[in-house]
Structure 1
């Protein structure tokens, strides 16, 4: 697909792989995101506020969805959109009470996962900046 305004070829198809080197490639591709998300969900599994937000008893399906989403967002395969359509993050999170406490817990578990990843500083800050902004955007209530 070509972005006519910039004349840049970004993907080899609507949801296909990126045609240029991406953040996804720089951090190690699928293996990186699988480990990041697995480390994150280890914390979520024991969190009394976050765990009840996951409809499946087993966090495996949620883990798989987050891996697909992050892969696609960072320039990897477009599998998330192929299987689930547009991400619509705020809409998908609307049924859950995402207050500042839930956001901070989510960020705490994700910070631990990012720390375990031992990324170079530029990639670490790039990833963390996005995760933090996304977490703040998901807040949909200030009720306790």
Structure 2
């Protein structure tokens, strides 16, 4: 039986550094989408403007990480899969999203232990969001 190491903070939101750090992470994530050719398909799926997507991901991540429930306070339950059904999400899109988020976590200085935990959680969520076999 493997003993899990206790996280140094009560929530991932506290561990990551609160709203300022979540905001920086989201901003870097979407900036990378614009800058890196490796994320071109992911970027194309987001339309011409990223302002709304940036705001919604920030609100969502705050709550998902255990902080303020900005998203649910405004829109109710996230219903992630339903809200993303209009977009083709296959393995390529999932992997680009995960790689972009991992790069953003690295570039914004997310603690390496937290980064590993979040990568696993992001993978579970992103894989669940797939609605295309490819």
Query: Which category of TM-score, normalised to the shorter sequence, fits these structures?
Result: 0.7 to 0.9
**Structure 2 gaps, min length 5:** 1-8
Q: Is the 8 A contact 1:68 1:80 kept in 2?
A: yes
Q: Is the 8 A contact 2:98 2:119 kept in 1?
A: no
Question: Of 85, 94, 108, which residue of structure 2 is paired with 1:117?
Answer: 108
SS at match of 1:95: coil
1:49 paired to 2:41:
yes
Q: Which has the higher helix share?
A: 2
Would you identify which runs of 4 or more consecutive aligned residues in structure 1 move more than 6 Å?
none
Q: Normalized against structure 2, the TM-score is what?
A: 0.83
Q: Counterparts in 2 of 1:1-144, with a 5 A limit?
A: 21-46=10-35, 47-55=39-47, 57-143=48-134
Q: Deviations over 1:32-64 (max 9, x none)?
A: 111111111112225331223224x22011011
Which has the higher mean CA deviation after the structures are superposed, 45-54 or 76-85?
45-54
| 1:127 to partner: Cα distance | 1.5
Q: Is the 8 A contact 1:45 1:59 kept in 2?
A: no
Aligned positions, number = 123
Larger RCO, structure (CA 8 Å, separation 6 or more): 2
Q: Normalized against structure 1, the TM-score is what?
A: 0.78
Which has the higher Rg, Structure 1 or Structure 2? 1
**Structure 1 gaps, min length 5:** 1-19
Whole-angstrom distance in 1 between the partners of 2:108 and 2:120: 15
Whole-angstrom distance in 1 between the partners of 2:22 and 2:126: 17
Whole-angstrom distance in 2 between the partners of 1:117 and 1:92: 28
